[in-house]
Structure 1
Amino acid sequence: MFVKLRIGLALLCVAVGLGLMVPFAYLGVKTGLYQPRRIRRWCNGLILRALGFRVHVTGEISKSRPLLVAANHVSWTDVMVLGSFNDVAFIAKSEMARWPLIGGLTRLQGCIFVERDRKRKSGEQANEIASRLASGDAMVLFAEGTTGDGNLLLPFKSTLFGAANLALAEGGADKVFIQPVAISYTRLHGLPMGRQHRAIAAWIGDQDLVPHIKDLLAEGAIDVEVHFGEPLEFSAGSSRKETARAVEEHVRAMMQQALRDPKR
Structure 2
Amino acid sequence: MFSTFRFVIAILVIALYTLPLMVVQEIALRTPLLSDRIVPRLWHRLTLRMLGVRVRMEGSPAKDRPLMIVANHVSWLDILVLGSLDGVHFIAKSEMRKWPILGTFARQQRSVFVERERRRSSPEQAREIAERLADGDPMVLFAEGTTGDGNRVLPFKSTLFGAAQLALASDRADSVTLQPVALIYVRKGGLRLDRRERAAISWIGDTDLLPNLITLWHSRPIDIAVRYGDPIPFLAKGDRKTVTREAEAQVRAMLTAGLRGTEI
**TM-score calculated relative to the size of structure 2:** 0.94
Equivalent positions of 1:199-210 (< 5 A) are 199-210=199-210
Shift of 1:199: 2.1
* Cα distance in 2 between the residues matched to 1:116 and 1:255: 25
Question: 1:60 aligns to what SS in structure 2?
Answer: coil
Question: 2:169 aligns to what SS in structure 1?
Answer: helix
* One-letter amino acid matched to 2:63: K
Q: Are 2:249 and 1:249 equivalent residues in the alignment?
A: yes
* One-letter amino acid matched to 2:102: I
Computed over aligned residues only, the root mean square deviation of the Cα atoms, in angstroms, reads 1.6
Equivalent positions of 1:165-244 (< 5 A) are 165-170=165-170, 172-244=172-244
Shift of 1:19: 2.4
Contact 1:17 / 1:46 at 8 angstroms: preserved in 2?
no
Contact 2:69 / 2:179 at 8 angstroms: preserved in 1?
yes
Shift of 1:120: 6.3
* Cα distance in 2 between the residues matched to 1:135 and 1:2: 49
Question: 1:106 — aligned with what?
Answer: 106
Shift of 1:219: 2.7
Equivalent positions of 1:24-43 (< 5 A) are 24-43=24-43
Contact 1:130 / 1:163 at 8 angstroms: preserved in 2?
yes
Question: 2:145 aligns to what SS in structure 1?
Answer: coil
* Residues 157-178 of structure 1: CA deviation (Å, up to 9, x unaligned): 1112111111112454221110
Structure 1 residue ranges without an equivalent (≥5): none
Shift of 1:52: 0.6
* One-letter amino acid matched to 1:244: T
Q: Are 2:260 and 1:260 equivalent residues in the alignment?
A: yes
Question: 1:115 — aligned with what?
Answer: 115
Contact 1:130 / 1:171 at 8 angstroms: preserved in 2?
no
Contact 1:150 / 1:184 at 8 angstroms: preserved in 2?
yes
Q: Are 2:47 and 1:51 equivalent residues in the alignment?
A: no
Question: 1:182 aligns to what SS in structure 2?
Answer: strand
Q: Are 2:76 and 1:76 equivalent residues in the alignment?
A: yes
* One-letter amino acid matched to 1:71: A
Question: 2:130 — aligned with what?
Answer: 130
* Cα distance in 2 between the residues matched to 1:119 and 1:192: 40
Q: Are 2:182 and 1:150 equivalent residues in the alignment?
A: no
Distance change >3 Å, CA 122–CA 170, structure 1 → 2? farther
* Residues 67-112 of structure 1: CA deviation (Å, up to 9, x unaligned): 1110000011101000102010011110111112211121121100
Question: 1:63 — aligned with what?
Answer: 63
Question: 1:63 aligns to what SS in structure 2?
Answer: coil
Shift of 1:122: 4.0
* Residues 120-166 of structure 1: CA deviation (Å, up to 9, x unaligned): 65444322211110111110000111110000100111112111111
Contact 1:176 / 1:234 at 8 angstroms: preserved in 2?
yes
* Residues 181-232 of structure 1: CA deviation (Å, up to 9, x unaligned): 0001100111110001112331011111121112222332100000001101
Aligned length: 264
* One-letter amino acid matched to 2:96: M
Distance change >3 Å, CA 240–CA 25, structure 1 → 2? same
* One-letter amino acid matched to 1:159: T
Contact 1:10 / 1:217 at 8 angstroms: preserved in 2?
no
* Cα distance in 2 between the residues matched to 1:28 and 1:110: 12
Shift of 1:262: 4.6
Identical-pair percentage:
50
